[in-house]
Chains A and B, each alone.
Chain A
Amino acid sequence: MIEVRGLTKRYGSTVAVGGLDFDVRPGVVTGFLGPNGSGKSTTMRMIIGLDRPDAGTAHINGTPYHRLAWPLREVGALLEARTFHPGRSAENHLAALAAGNGIPRARVRAVLDTVGLSDVAARRAGGFSLGMSQRLGIAAALLGDPPVLLFDEPVNGLDPEGVRWLRGLVTSLAAEGRTVLLSSHLISEMALTADRLIVIGRGALLADSSVAELTREGRSLEEAFFELTGDSAEYRGNDHAQHRRTR
């Protein structure tokens, strides 16, 4: 269970996240949707204590992240693709993290096997493709076998097989009763994976409901998303053809 209350983050005069309130419940996959720059990553970084909120709290099963006794055994997080030193092997990277939280060494082999990196475990991780880096990040998230998991854009760089594998992984983690928060801007992916959705735009909550509710009356999730975020897209491209006509 993740409880976010009044979470706020400012960068100078820009409000990245403004007074966000939501719960992420166990047993279901909760999707975290929003346009680029809407504050998804900042919110997730605050949940695991990388960024300090200017106001508000984020609690994990009742405790703020920095007070957890064994953080990796309680929360697993994939926040960015490359969160390892390029000169270190995947195995040593995970072994160091395991040692830091008293996680049995056998878990390193187990999670490498889960994400399919066993064969390259001894290689310098700097040579990994984006997809392999994502898999290593997922392995690190699973290392402590945590009841709460956060994945920020996990399908980036994964091949179609990997995308399908991840979908199965995320669904089964939730089915085991874990709390899963999954961010993506791929709406089609969300439609396939998520049970509930939290939609934010410009750092504010736009919707917190089930996928079924958002797509009632035959509306597609994409249509629902654009209706919700219509006014809050930070960066918007322009129609290419229209652009040519006006020249």
Chain B
Amino acid sequence: MTAISHRAELLAGRYGFRHAARMEWIKLRSLRSSVWVLATTAAGMIVIGIVTIAATEAPQAAAAEPVDPLNNLLAGLILGQLLIGGLGVLVVTGEYSSGAIRSTLAAIPNRRLLLAAKAGVFGAAALVVGELVTFGTFFAGRLALTEAVARPGLGDPGVIRALVLFGVYLAMVGLIGIALGAVLRHTAAAIGTLAGVLFVVPGVLAGLTGTTVAKFFPTMIAGNSLAVTEPADDVLSPWAGFAVLCLYVSVALAAGGWMSARRDA
């Protein structure tokens, strides 16, 4: 009963992105589950990358296409995107299922601003993890490569670009997860949709129609356009693929912002 009588001094101005982002940052790091998922994602993906790269065999002299060890190295990381994306989903849906969204919105009634803060904070964390994983796998994988395969170096053409963009890609999947969470509000529905978009649909399309449509799906862009030093002719170029991904993320987040502003909490 002692604490309620002294009024906090009133600040000038009003709440903004900075406040919402500080709130989201405290929320992100105070959930042990999210910290664990990010840490195990990082560790698990690096291990997968090393295992994949260790299995890379030297190209036969007669092989028509030279092997791209970088692609093998990063392709192993494709599975990990579901963890980062799933965590992005939970950043939003976890609040709806627990009821925490009501206290969050009481503090930050501007729902688009709130979603922007969630995307900014989680996107930044996922970007750090994504780049750590990508570069970590690259350096560890180089050591695991058999003697017969030429080791790729950071200075080789396209390598830095592939590594940086792949790390960014992982963060972008996290943002798509956030957007799906905001649109669907249910964990299972959002993670199911995410898995469908990332794995099932492009897999089926690739089987039916080859790369014609499948090349526009995020996983295909990541594996065939971003994570290679020299993409094949029938897929998007790295920067075209990256531009398409940027478009997806913007549209998804805009839809999430629109939906959360429109619906009752």
Contact among A48, A82, A168 for B106, CB-based, below 8 A: A48
Question: B76-111 toward A: CB 8 Å interface, digit per residue (1/0)?
Answer: 000000000000000000110011111111111110
Is A167 close to B, CB under 8 A? no
Given contacts A85-B94, A100-B107, contact A71 B264 (CB under 8 A): no
Across-interface contacts of B27 in A (CB, < 8 A): 85, 88, 92, 96
The distance in angstroms between the C-alpha atoms of A85 and B109, with both chains bound, is 18
Is B232 close to A, CB under 8 A? no
Given contacts A87-B33, A145-B7, contact A80 B1 (CB under 8 A): no
Most buried by A among B8, B26, B108, B265: B8
Question: B2-41 toward A: CB 8 Å interface, digit per residue (1/0)?
Answer: 1111111011011100011011111100111100000000
Contact among A66, A82, A145 for B4, CB-based, below 8 A: A145
The distance in angstroms between the C-alpha atoms of A86 and B33, with both chains bound, is 11
* A96 near B30: Cβ-Cβ < 8 Å: yes
Complex interface residues of chain B between 169 and 197 (CB less than 8 A to chain A)? none
The distance in angstroms between the C-alpha atoms of A169 and B3, with both chains bound, is 11
* B103 near A97: Cβ-Cβ < 8 Å: yes
The distance in angstroms between the C-alpha atoms of A71 and B23, with both chains bound, is 14
- Tell me, rounded to whole Å, the shortest Cβ–Cβ distance linking B37 to chain A: 12
Residue of B nearest to A82 (CB): B99
* B14 near A92: Cβ-Cβ < 8 Å: no
* B4 near A71: Cβ-Cβ < 8 Å: no
Given contacts A96-B30, A97-B23, A99-B23, contact A70 B10 (CB under 8 A): yes
Of the four ranges (under 10, 10 to 19, 20 to 34, 35 or more), the interface on chain B belongs to: 35 or more
* B19 near A52: Cβ-Cβ < 8 Å: no
Is A22 close to B, CB under 8 A? no
Question: A100-142 toward B: CB 8 Å interface, digit per residue (1/0)?
Answer: 1111100100110110000000000000000000000000101
Contact among A69, A83, A93 for B102, CB-based, below 8 A: A83
* B3 near A144: Cβ-Cβ < 8 Å: no
- Tell me, rounded to whole Å, the shortest Cβ–Cβ distance linking A48 to chain B: 6
Is A77 close to B, CB under 8 A? yes
- Tell me, rounded to whole Å, the shortest Cβ–Cβ distance linking B86 to chain A: 16
Across-interface contacts of A83 in B (CB, < 8 A): 99-103
* B98 near A49: Cβ-Cβ < 8 Å: no
The distance in angstroms between the C-alpha atoms of A104 and B31, with both chains bound, is 22
Residue of B nearest to A142 (CB): B4
Across-interface contacts of A48 in B (CB, < 8 A): 106, 109
* A173 near B4: Cβ-Cβ < 8 Å: yes
Residue of B nearest to A77 (CB): B106
* B26 near A95: Cβ-Cβ < 8 Å: yes
The 8 closest A-B pairs by CB, nearest first: A100-B23, A110-B3, A69-B14, A92-B30, A100-B107, A96-B26, A99-B22, A66-B109
Q: List 10 A-B contacts (CB under 8 A).
A: A71-B15, A73-B10, A80-B99, A82-B98, A84-B103, A85-B27, A88-B31, A88-B100, A110-B4, A145-B4
Q: Known pairs A50-B105, A70-B14, A84-B99. 18 more at Cβ < 8 A?
A: A48-B109, A49-B109, A51-B265, A70-B10, A70-B15, A73-B10, A75-B106, A79-B102, A87-B32, A97-B107, A99-B26, A100-B107, A101-B107, A110-B2, A111-B4, A113-B3, A114-B3, A140-B106
